[in-house]
């Protein structure tokens, strides 16, 4: 995970505690090498810390997909996970097949008020897109409203603009090491000036077995 929460991109003139209708988070990592002879692969997405320990709490998890406050896509067969449960199976991006040595993989989370639902002031839409080498490879959209059961905790953090998520990467299978990508952002061919909260300006290697690690 990122060592600090990500800072959002917000509409011009919208304050951190104002009534902005949407905010967007983004990060990218580069895969310096891939392993063969495995049937598993990486996952990535966004997670919120439930306690004061922040990144340390997230890094202690064995899998990103099992985090209690997270939106994650990946694995093989690839799935989309929300708060530890499967919410999508039709995922076009298969990292075990598509991720190559040198690939740049990113995630974009857009949080917005969901005007389509009756209680639009309390309902939110979370859209998580996976990008690889400048192209969108997968997208999962969830509409959350009060009383939505298992999603209530996630709705609570989405509705509070002062609670920013961490970017998380689960190293698994063919992807054992990544580094924070420091080049121009690859977002649909356009530059996205995302401000990623990290402890160093240089790319930091992230490696190991099946685990969620910080960079």
Residue among 175, 171, 214, 210 nearest 62 (CA): 210
- pTM more than 0.75: yes
**pLDDT tens, 114-157?**
766 555 567 888 999 999 998 999 999 988 877 656 677 788 88
pLDDT tens figures, 36-89: 999 999 999 999 987 666 677 787 788 888 888 999 999 999 999 988 889 899
User: What's the pLDDT at 198?
Assistant: 31
Q: Helix H segments across the chain? A: 55-59, 95-98, 152-158
Query: Within 10 Å of residue 182's Cβ, how many Cβ atoms?
Result: 13
Q: What is the pLDDT of residue 57?
A: 76
For 191, the 3-state DSSP assignment is coil
Rounded to the nearest 10°, the torsion over CA 172, 48, 28, 173 is 0
């Amino acid at each position: 995970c990122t060592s600090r929460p990500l800072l959002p991109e917000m509409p011009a003139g919208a304050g951190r505690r104002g009534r902005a209708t949407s905010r967007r988070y983004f990060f990218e990592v580069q895969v310096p090498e891939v392993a063969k002879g495995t049937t598993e692969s990486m996952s990535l997405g966004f997670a919120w810390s439930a306690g004061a320990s922040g990144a340390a709490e997230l890094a202690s998890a064995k899998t990103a997909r099992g985090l209690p406050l997270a939106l994650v896509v990946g694995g093989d067969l690839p799935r989309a996970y929300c708060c530890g449960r499967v919410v999508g199976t039709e995922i076009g991006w298969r990292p075990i097949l598509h991720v190559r040595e040198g690939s740049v993989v990113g995630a974009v989370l857009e949080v917005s008020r969901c005007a389509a639902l009756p209680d639009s002031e309390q309902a939110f839409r979370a859209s998580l897109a996976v990008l690889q080498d400048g192209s969108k490879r997968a997208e999962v959209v969830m509409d959350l409203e009060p009383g939505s059961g298992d999603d209530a905790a996630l709705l609570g953090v989405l509705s509070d603009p002062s609670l920013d998520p961490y970017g998380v990467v689960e190293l698994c299978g063919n992807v054992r090491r990544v580094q924070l990508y420091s080049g121009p952002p690859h977002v649909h061919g356009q530059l996205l000036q995302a401000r990623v909260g990290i402890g160093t300006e240089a790319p930091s290697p992230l490696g190991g077995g099946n685990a969620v690690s910080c960079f």
